[in-house]
Chain A
Amino acid sequence: MTIPAQPYPLTGRSFKSLEKEYPLNDPLQKAIIDQILQSHCDTPGGLMVILNEIQSRIGFVSQPIQEYVARVLNTPVSAIHGVITFYSFFTTEPRGERILKFCMGTACYVGGTPQLVDKATQLLGVSPGQTTPDGKITVEVCRCVGACSQAPVVVVDEQMYGRIRPSKMPALIRDVLKSCEDASGG
């Protein structure tokens, strides 16, 4: 990738020092990020597209990634940081292998999501927003996923489970943990 000439001196870290940090020190991850940047750096308003892709393929947009993107796009890190913190989809830290999202839309809320969250908290020992210590499951509360006719809804990654009762939670969590093991085993 060609590095554009800097119109003004950027403070902050150089490419060299950024490349020593995770995930940029991993050639595979760096290749993915570079490829995303390459294909969208000329798109008008491409920053959102780039960050969305990084989020979905790397799983998070940490400080080193933000600085790296800022260098390549020749924008201030603050502009990128501003975008990251504005939208709830971007995370700055790695999340668990599976993400358990509880829909807090109106229909789900009335349908009993709070009880489901209580049950999951009890079973996993982590509150919403946290990841289990083994890095397997992240519990999150999210906005309406638009499946209100099946309220309350739990979303595991992109798979949707509707009409979940608190009594069904243990089985659901067992399935999720099992799928984690299957994925790492295979």
Chain B
Amino acid sequence: MPLVHSLDELVHLQKKILEDRRADISAHSIEGLGREKFAAPALRADQELDAPRGKEIRVVLRNCNLIDPESLDDYIGEEGYQALATVLSSMSPEEVIEIISKSGLRGRGGACFPTGRKWQLTRNSAGSPKYIICNADEGDPGAFMNRRVLEGDPHSVLEGMAIGAYAIGASRGFVYCRAEYPIAVRTLNLAIQQARAYGLLGENVLNSGFAFDVEVRMGAGAFVCGEETALIASIEGRRGEPRPRPPFPAVTGLWGKPTCINNVETFANVPQIIMTGADWFAGMGTEKSKGTKTFALAGDVNHTGLIEVPLGITLREIVYDVGEGIKKKKELKAIQTGGPMGGCLPASMVDLPVDYESLMAAGSIMGSGGMIVMDEDTCMVDIARFFMEFIQEESCGKCTPCRVGTHSMLEILTRICRGEGVDGDIAKLERLSKLTRTHSLCGLGQGAPNPVDSTLKHFREEYEAHIYRKECPAKVCRELIRYEIIAETCNGCTVCAKNCPIGAIAGERRKLHVIDQETCVRCGICIQTCNFGAILALTGDQTAPVMAQSQDPI
């Protein structure tokens, strides 16, 4: 294993690696990516991460799918660790912080605190040793950007951490990764070993006298550990409960020492900013939100998966250009951003630019980057209930407003979805949401009411339909709908009867089938399995169109 001692050696090694690759495999360019690639052709676009579409720009995901994540040589071949070498050989910590501040990079984990300022604060704090932590506890349902970066390009995160550590004056770093990502943990551990062997981590990084080492710590399935003080408690080996701030971790963090916590994506941006320059980074995005952001696009769009777009792009461009429109040509109903503490934006706001301030003003947040597109068949009350259930379960229970507030809101939402909503429920929800938001200890409770607030704001009529008319317009809430078979379309193929988990469908082959409304649990399996579209979901006073016709002659 070659030990690298300086920037020159690193550049030399890069040249050598690239020459070797050129000689080994004839270079091929990957369609759409416009870059020569020397790795094995097997590392191509997959279901999660495809070639860029629409306005996509790859900065954080630049190496994913292009290099072998288990090969440090591949990363060095892509200018890897040259940013770290440059920083160590020719920059003071203050200069590094200056560049990061100038670039306008803001925390990608959701709180969007300016990264340069956070580093400056930690650097200025008295206390030694200092720690740097990478928050890889990506718990938002529907988000997997960090996993992909850790699994696809772990060295970029390590390099970013090393640069950050140099800037704040830390010599030890931790990556706190959630237990649901075993492959990411394995890849990271391997990457750390390789970097140590090359002299890119350890007692004397690149022969500069700077000491830095990283350790991976695993979570154990607690969503709240993504909150920085809870994360620190978890690394310390305690229950992951948040504590009041201030003092902020930058002053009193891990084991009471100054600690800087940044998201995976934030760190992955750092080497590129150092290499290409703050102006290049600040040239992307809007006035206050610079650079690019990765999103995990999921839900009812034709093209789901990871995307990376410049900030300031509109939701329309994401849904219709990058996501290639709504599945089955249905109507867009809402876009949910920011994970469970985010909000639902209605289709009418589709021209909203995606940046921190605009999303916040519209009642949602950027969050860590989950983006779920919902079509007309989604019930917004049910979605609010789903998120509230998630938050209520994941609330750590330390502070009362969050523990009791989320529980009470969930109770009301569940009642509304069951058709047992009463007059005054909406007002109660609004009051509870305000109390929970203003009185909770950490971001979990403060953001908990967002799904309720945003759906109440934009989809109030759906709540009213559930409460006053006992209808679910999207035909999702089981207690408010029924399934009926259209007599004329049903050809008696028996598929629905065979698939019904509780045997609620009766009928002989080639004869009309009937659903027993008393037994039916409205699981919806019959609708999915029927190949002829003969089963309809109805709500409230609706009747099947065919039934109305058949009554006419009599």
Contact = CB atoms under 8 A, between A and B. Distances in A.
A87 B141 contact: no
A105 B390 CA distance: 9
Contacts, number: 142
Which of B220, B370, B372, B521 has the most chain A CB within a 10 Å cutoff?
B220
B374 A45 contact: no
Interface string B133-146: 00000111111100
The binding surface of chain B is classed by DSSP as: loop
Contact of B523 (A55, A88, A118, A149): A118
A88 B139 CA distance: 13
B239 A106 contact: no
A107 to B, nearest CB: 4
B299 interface: yes
Nearest to B142: A106
A41 to B, nearest CB: 11
Given A107-B372, A144-B141, A147-B144, A112 B528 contact: yes
Given A89-B179, A106-B370, A149 B298 contact: yes
Contact of B218 (A48, A107, A145): A48
Contacts of A79: 238
A150 B525 CA distance: 19
Contacts of B255: 44-45
Interface string A143-186: 11111111100000010001001110000000000000000000
B523 A114 contact: yes
Nearest to B147: A146
B298 A107 contact: yes
A87 B142 contact: no
A39 interface: no
A130 B502 CA distance: 20
B270 to A, nearest CB: 23
A52 interface: yes
B499 A167 contact: yes
A150 B245 CA distance: 39
Interface stretch (B152-160, B229-237, B426-434): B229-237
Contacts of A107: 141-142, 298-299, 304, 372
A149 B147 CA distance: 13
Interface in B170-184: 179-182
Contacts of B219: 48, 87, 89
A119 B336 CA distance: 28
A110 interface: yes
A9 interface: no
A86 interface: yes
Which of B142, B502, B524 has the most chain A CB within a 10 Å cutoff?
B142
B249 interface: no
Interface string B65-95: 0000000000000000000000000000000
Given A119-B501, A148-B144, A45 B47 contact: no
A106 B528 contact: no
Contact of A87 (B47, B182, B220, B336): B220
B139 A115 contact: no
Nearest to B304: A149
A144 B501 contact: no
A52 B141 contact: no
A144 to B, nearest CB: 4
Q: Kindly state the interface size class of chain A when it binds its partner.
A: 35 or more
B154 to A, nearest CB: 16
B298 A48 contact: no
A151 B529 CA distance: 18
B235 A48 contact: yes
Nearest to B144: A146
A112 B524 CA distance: 9
A139 interface: no
Nearest to A53: B218
Nearest to A122: B501
A51 B506 CA distance: 52
B221 interface: yes
Interface string B253-272: 00100000000000000000
A110 B240 CA distance: 29
A183 B92 CA distance: 58
Contacts of B47: 149-150, 162
B198 interface: no
A1 B217 CA distance: 25
Contacts of A88: 220-222
A154 to B, nearest CB: 14
Interface string B277-307: 0000000000000000000111110001110
A48 B217 contact: yes
A52 B225 CA distance: 15
A45 B222 contact: no
A1 to B, nearest CB: 19
A82 B386 contact: no
Contact of A149 (B48, B138, B238, B525): B48
Nearest to A83: B239
5 contacts: A44-B237, A48-B237, A51-B220, A106-B142, A144-B141
B166 interface: no
Given A90-B220, A146-B138, A150-B47, A115 B528 contact: yes
B252 interface: no
Contact of B386 (A109, A115, A166): A109
A143 B221 contact: yes
B396 interface: yes
A107 B143 CA distance: 10
A112 B378 CA distance: 12
Given A106-B386, A146-B147, A166 B223 contact: no
B141 A143 contact: yes
Interface string B501-525: 1100000000000000000010111
A104 interface: yes
A125 to B, nearest CB: 12
Contact of B237 (A47, A105, A119, A150): A47
Contacts of A147: 48, 144
Contact of A89 (B221, B374, B378): B221
Given A118-B521, A119-B501, A148-B144, 6 more contacts: A107-B141, A109-B386, A149-B47, A149-B48, A149-B296, A166-B525
A148 B523 contact: no
Contacts of B218: 48-49, 52
Given A146-B180, A166-B499, A110 B141 contact: no
